[in-house]
Amino acid sequence: MEIDAALERFWIFLRGERNLASATRRAYRADLALFADYWRREWPHRPVEDADRASLRPFLALLGQRDWRRATLLRKYESLWSFFHFLVRKGISSNNPTDGIPRPKPERRVPDFLGEGEVSRLMAPREPGRRSGSSLRSARDAAMMELLYSSGLRAEEMVALNVGALDPWEGAVRVFGKGSRERVVPVGESALNGLRAYLKMRGIDILVGAEGAAVPLFAGPSGKRLNVRTLRRVVEQAGRAAGLSNAHPHVLRHSFATHLLNRGCDLRSVQEMLGHKNLSTTQIYTHVTTDRLREVYEKAHPRA
């Protein structure tokens, strides 16, 4: 099969059967575009299902020469493996030539997070500006940051929320995460109070069910749903005002997980709340707990 035809079938598979998030699909496209260029150039008349290790070796060497982070390089290997695995699964190819090829070891990166005192500074109320609508904007921004930290949501999940996703009686929010996987995440009282105040200023009750299903939870002055770029800007501006250089939505997500683990929450529960498919993804936070245990140990043990 010609490379472009095979890739087109793969895109349909990712969008339909796998139901992957659009950002993940874009990453696959970017990764496999490099391979497609290589294949067209080096093997213009060879069906892609005839690929073997010998024909892939120059491409893998090319990947290794680029100045990429190890995580980026590993993702490109994984994208190539997934593509050939799809060809085998659909009966287009008889084997996956990437099976058994050594891959870069994933780097164990320490997630960036804020201390509890830094989060308190970030959430501290500030005087709203004098521009029209700034009080509403301030209430919205405060509610967004409270919810990010309270529930550990991804930025994309936050901006996709509708009012009907909130259940104020249960103190929870219903979220559709990566791969459209649904989960219910607790919402703390501080976040609920902020959301009530913000929605009251918009003239909206916290509605549950179909009545509030289509109303964006966070909106701009025109009433349209906020985008991730605006959310990121809000958090970064609040961070600068609080004297923090590393404040952004994903740092609040990391802080949520880290603080729960430090205070005794079990790893499996944190995995559920974060919406991680695999427990191994959540384990990046365990180093923080270990560091905290070491600190406590050294302060408490007489012969530490």
Catalytic residues: 154, 178, 250, 253, 276, 285
Q: How far apart are CA 15 and CA 115, in angstroms?
A: 39
166 has which bridge partners? Answer: 173
Pair 19, 179: CB distance under 8 Å? yes
Of the candidates 135, 218, 133, 231, the residue with the CA atom closest to the CA atom of residue 239: 231
Using DSSP's 3-state secondary structure scheme, residue 137 falls into: helix
Q: How far apart are CA 234 and CA 226, in angstroms?
A: 11
Token representation of residue 208? 């549950």
CA angle 266, 271, 275 (to 5 degrees): 155
Q: How far apart are CA 24 and CA 13, in angstroms?
A: 13
Q: How far apart are CA 295 and CA 84, in angstroms?
A: 47
Using DSSP's 3-state secondary structure scheme, residue 174 falls into: strand
Rg (CA), the chain: 23
Token representation of residue 154? 């991804």
